[in-house]
């Protein structure tokens, strides 16, 4: 029996481009995931073509992201960023562009489709039927889970998204979950076939995010060498909980006014989701809490500079209300900076409680202040967790993620075509 091999993957990322700067708009951990896994898949000899919506008139039809990785811009709707609520109206136009691209080549160009987020899954579903290839899907976030864990100020995900996700789960030949907990949610909340669900941990770029001298990083960023630096990295929206960090900092200063001369609370990221409605939310909150003198709001930065922010910090706070994994936590730990993270979702996997950081139950600012104060008051604890953070992060490399994805692709192909498994040529 002929063995089918995985040679080329059509990756669908409709609502956010892998070329976008993570940390603002809809660009975040998913962008990093797609870019880094695609690069490592290419190193395994598997070509990756990433389809995304064109958001500027002057963008070329295709861009080489890395050897073996191509980004294809598909015209669908206006040349501007659209809210996710408006994107379902562009599904047909986007699908048409994807199908036209494939039709320009000989049949059989793609061996498998990997869609990211439910909108892309809808496109992948129809492309799968047209091309006769398997569909592998990664949720990244799930409406049913988000609606169970809504932050104050967030609105529930619409029923249309819930239905769309259920449809994708039903038709996908393979479902990729970031953690065992997420796999359980797919099975329990969406009725996913357990035999089609695979756990693939995301990774971290260990050559970029690595330990370095804290003093040197602070000099490069213009930060005081003796500061107590609390860091938040991510999109500014209620889901990510940056308000929890600001309220906790206010509690710390109320309890210990002597901290004010050294405490620095840095928030690196831009407005996203419902946070776009109030882009000045964090600045306004800092003023109302009386801590605007210690808060620094920093727009999204390139990854090399982001690594310096991690190295400069005493602790990275990840107070999210839900995370499918939490790449920020992993990046920080890889740089040798421990994490204080909410005990939710994938953060329970990304952070090893008591070894690489501390998990915090709930989002009470008083409890967060107590935990964060430990990183200020207990240098031995901070040093022990920093050492554990580096060791913990070393187990999460993108090469391992790509190798596991290649296995998932091969199994999805074998399931669809009922042939023996083969991964690369």
Which residues carry a binding-site annotation for Mg(2+)? 310-311, 313, 337
DSSP, res 88: G
Q: Decide if 312 contacts 288 (C-beta within 8 A).
A: no
Residue stretches of the annotated binding site for 1D-myo-inositol 3-phosphate: 15, 26-31, 84, 117, 141, 161
Residues contacting residue 99 through CB under 8 Å, at least 6 positions apart: 127, 130
- Where helices occur in 149-193 by DSSP H, the ranges are 159-171, 180-190
CA nearest to 94, candidates 36, 55, 133, 143? 55
CA nearest to 102, candidates 81, 122, 72? 72
CA nearest to 29, candidates 280, 155, 205? 205
Query: What tokens were used for 186?
Result: 């797919």
Residue 198 to residue 201: CA distance in whole angstroms: 10
**To 10 degrees, what angle do helices 303-312 and 327-334 make?**
70
Residue stretches of the annotated binding site: 15, 21-22, 26-31, 84, 117, 141, 161, 235, 240, 301, 310-311, 313, 323, 331, 337
Query: What tokens were used for 391?
Result: 């060791």
Starting at the edge strand found earlier in the chain, the sheet holding 339-342 runs 295-298, 263-268, 228-233, 315-318, 339-342, 357-360
Residues contacting residue 341 through CB under 8 Å, at least 6 positions apart: 317, 318, 319, 320, 326, 329, 347, 350, 351, 357, 358, 359, 360
CA nearest to 96, candidates 71, 118, 77? 77
The DSSP element (H or E) to which 60 belongs, if any, is: none
Q: For 176, what's the count of Cα atoms within 13 Å in the CB-facing half-sphere?
A: 30
Which of helix, strand or coil describes residue 110?
coil
| 246-265 as b/e: b if 16+ CB within 10 A | bbbbbbbbeeeeebeeebbb
């Amino acid at each position: 029996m002929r063995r089918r091999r995985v040679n080329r993957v059509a990756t669908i990322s409709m609502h956010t481009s892998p070329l976008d700067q993570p940390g603002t708009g809809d660009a975040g951990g998913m962008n990093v995931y797609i870019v880094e896994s695609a690069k490592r898949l290419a190193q395994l000899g598997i070509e990756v073509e990433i389809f995304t919506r064109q958001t500027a008139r002057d963008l070329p039809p295709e861009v080489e992201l890395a050897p073996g990785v191509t980004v294809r811009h598909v015209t669908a709707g206006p040349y501007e960023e659209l809210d996710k609520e408006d994107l379902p109206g562009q599904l047909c136009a986007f699908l048409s562009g994807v199908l036209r691209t494939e039709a320009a080549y000989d049949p059989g160009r793609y061996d498998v489709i990997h869609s990211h987020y439910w909108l892309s899954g809808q496109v992948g579903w129809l492309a799968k039927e047209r091309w006769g290839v398997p569909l592998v899907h990664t949720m990244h976030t799930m409406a049913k889970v988000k609606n169970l864990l809504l932050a104050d100020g967030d609105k529930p995900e619409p029923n249309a998204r819930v239905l769309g996700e259920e449809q994708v789960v039903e038709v996908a030949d393979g479902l990729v979950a970031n953690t065992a907990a997420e796999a359980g949610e797919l099975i329990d909340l969406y009725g996913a076939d357990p035999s089609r669900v695979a756990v693939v941990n995301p990774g971290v770029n260990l050559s970029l995010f690595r330990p370095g001298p804290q003093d040197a990083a602070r000099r490069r960023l213009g930060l005081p060498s003796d500061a107590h630096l609390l860091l938040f990295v991510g999109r500014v929206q209620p889901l990510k909980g940056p308000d929890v960090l600001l309220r906790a900092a206010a509690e710390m200063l109320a309890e210990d006014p002597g901290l004010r001369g050294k405490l620095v609370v840095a928030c690196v990221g831009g407005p996203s989701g419902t946070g776009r409605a109030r882009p000045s939310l964090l600045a306004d909150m800092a003023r109302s809490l009386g801590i605007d003198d210690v808060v620094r709001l920093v727009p999204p930065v390139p990854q090399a500079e982001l690594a310096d922010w991690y190295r400069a910090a005493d602790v990275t706070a990840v107070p999210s209300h839900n995370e499918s994994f939490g790449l920020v936590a992993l990046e920080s730990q890889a740089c040798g900076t421990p994490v204080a993270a909410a005990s939710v979702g994938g953060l329970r996997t990304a952070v090893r409680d008591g070894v690489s950081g501390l998990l915090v139950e709930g989002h009470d600012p008083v409890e967060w202040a107590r935990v964060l104060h430990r990183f200020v008051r207990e240098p031995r604890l901070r040093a022990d967790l920093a050492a554990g953070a580096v060791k913990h992060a070393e187990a999460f490399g993108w090469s391992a993620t790509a190798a596991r994805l290649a296995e998932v692709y091969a199994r999805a192909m074998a399931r669809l075509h009922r042939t023996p498994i083969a991964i690369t040529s």
